[in-house]
Amino acid sequence: MPVERVDVSAYTVPTDAPEADGTLSWDTTTTVVAEVRSGGLTGTGWTYAPPAAADVVRHQLAPLVEGFDVLDIPATHARMCRAVRDAGRPGIVSCAISAVDIALWDLKARLLDLPLVRLLGANRDRVPVYGSGGFTTYHDTHLAAQLSGWVHGQHIPRVKIKIGEAWGRAATRDLQRVRHARQVIGPRAELYVDANGGYNRKQAVRIGEALAAVGVGWFEEPVSCDDLTGLRLVRDALLCDVTAGAYGYDLPSFARMIAAGAVDCLQADATRCGGITEFLRVAALAQAHGLEISSHHAPHAHADVAACVPNLRHLEWFHDHVRVESMLFGGVLDPTGGTLRPGRNGPGHGLVLRGEEMEEYRVAQRPTFRA
């Protein structure tokens, strides 16, 4: 059965408060949504990227998908990846491929009248999650309310906050916020931190040693994810797990990270790395090297595929994307108790795009000029 049509749209939603991590600040979140149609049904995929990713879908990828068999996703994925060689695979182009790939898997499952988790083949019926937010712009009261809501309200037993503020120049405040987070969540909940590459190597080691005293077990991107040697040095020096991989845009980038011995747990983002097709390959690569994998951001894009991965550690319940996905889609999942249960909302990933309700956030399509 051929793909009949590929549509794409972009939506920019203001954050509910100013947000920042160690190296970046923002006040909006943009989602690019791909819709793939065949047999009277629609598959939906998405990525978090600038609106330019929608232009890639519209002008470069759609002609490679339309008219080809909707069931042959690996062939379509390979065709897209080959065709973008001169455009450059990493970054926006990979995000665009990811959105189309997720949409294709959703459509295939809907055409076969199966939940996506069943089509992929479940390894578990529940997916562990961790609450993620704790932005460096939050004051103590805001931070406490968010963390308490996850741990004491929804009974999610693991949470993560941002540190590395101002490229590592606010280390004293970083540690104060971590100690405050521990007081809020209590001694039993797991506490994670994410520096987004804000520290240098020796600073990361010093910070990591202080974090150990507060029971932090997960130190994400203590140095830049491009500094694989630095990640390995920090990993070797600390007791907590050092993690990275969120900015991996293709399989070879994950292979390099593993070969460098850079991480204790590999992170991957299906909305960046090439969709569900590539996420499964990354997970298999990690398993072959004795590593677990954790999904990054976009929780509803990962729930089904995460349930199918034997070496999964957990899924990130990221505040921004939880909020945006709840606005964009009907049928969102409930993390109460610390897990998600995909496959309970019918065929595909079970989400339904709220078209008219999101119109105020739609990014205007740029006109196409032809000579």
pLDDT reported for residue 366 = 61
- Checking if the pLDDT of 251 tops 50, the result is yes
Distances (CA, A) of 266 to 6, 166, 250, 277, 293: 32, 25, 14, 17, 5
Segment 224-248, tens digit of pLDDT: 999 999 999 999 999 999 999 999 9
Looking at residues 350-364, what average pLDDT do you find? 91
- Checking if the pLDDT of 102 tops 90, the result is yes
d(CA 289, CA 258): 8
pLDDT reported for residue 141 = 98
Comparing CA positions, the residue from 313, 262, 271, 278 lying closest to residue 129 is 313
CB neighbourhood size of 17 (10 A): 13
Confidence class of residue 368 from pLDDT cuts 50, 70 and 90? Answer: low
Residue 14, both tokens:
């203001």
- Checking if the pLDDT of 371 tops 60, the result is no
Task: Tell me the sheet residues that pair with 69.
Answer: 2
Segment 20-60, tens digit of pLDDT: 999 999 999 999 999 999 999 999 999 999 999 999 999 99
Residue owning tokens 């042959």: 72
pLDDT reported for residue 356 = 82
- Torsion, Cα 75 81 86 87, to 10 degrees, reads 130
pLDDT reported for residue 370 = 40
Residue 55, both tokens:
């232009």
Looking at residues 287-300, what average pLDDT do you find? 98
Confidence class of residue 336 from pLDDT cuts 50, 70 and 90? Answer: very high
295 and 302 Cβ atoms separated by less than 8 Å: yes
Q: Taken in order 357, 360, 362, 368, is the CA torsion positive or negative? A: positive
330 and 351 Cβ atoms separated by less than 8 Å: yes
pLDDT reported for residue 369 = 46
Comparing CA positions, the residue from 141, 110, 119, 89 lying closest to residue 44 is 110
Percent of the chain whose predicted confidence (pLDDT) is above 70: 98
244 and 221 Cβ atoms separated by less than 8 Å: yes
Confidence class of residue 367 from pLDDT cuts 50, 70 and 90? Answer: low
pLDDT reported for residue 334 = 98
Looking at residues 148-173, what average pLDDT do you find? 98
119 and 112 Cβ atoms separated by less than 8 Å: yes
Confidence class of residue 365 from pLDDT cuts 50, 70 and 90? Answer: confident
Q: Rounded to an integer, what is the distance from CA 314 to the centroid of its chain?
A: 12
Confidence class of residue 364 from pLDDT cuts 50, 70 and 90? Answer: confident
- Checking if the pLDDT of 357 tops 90, the result is no
Arithmetic mean of pLDDT over the chain:
96
Comparing CA positions, the residue from 160, 226, 147 lying closest to residue 21 is 160
Looking at residues 159-183, what average pLDDT do you find? 98
- Checking if the pLDDT of 83 tops 70, the result is yes
d(CA 135, CA 25): 9
pLDDT reported for residue 44 = 98
Interstrand relation of 329-330 and 352-353 (parallel, antiparallel or unpaired): antiparallel
Confidence class of residue 121 from pLDDT cuts 50, 70 and 90? Answer: very high
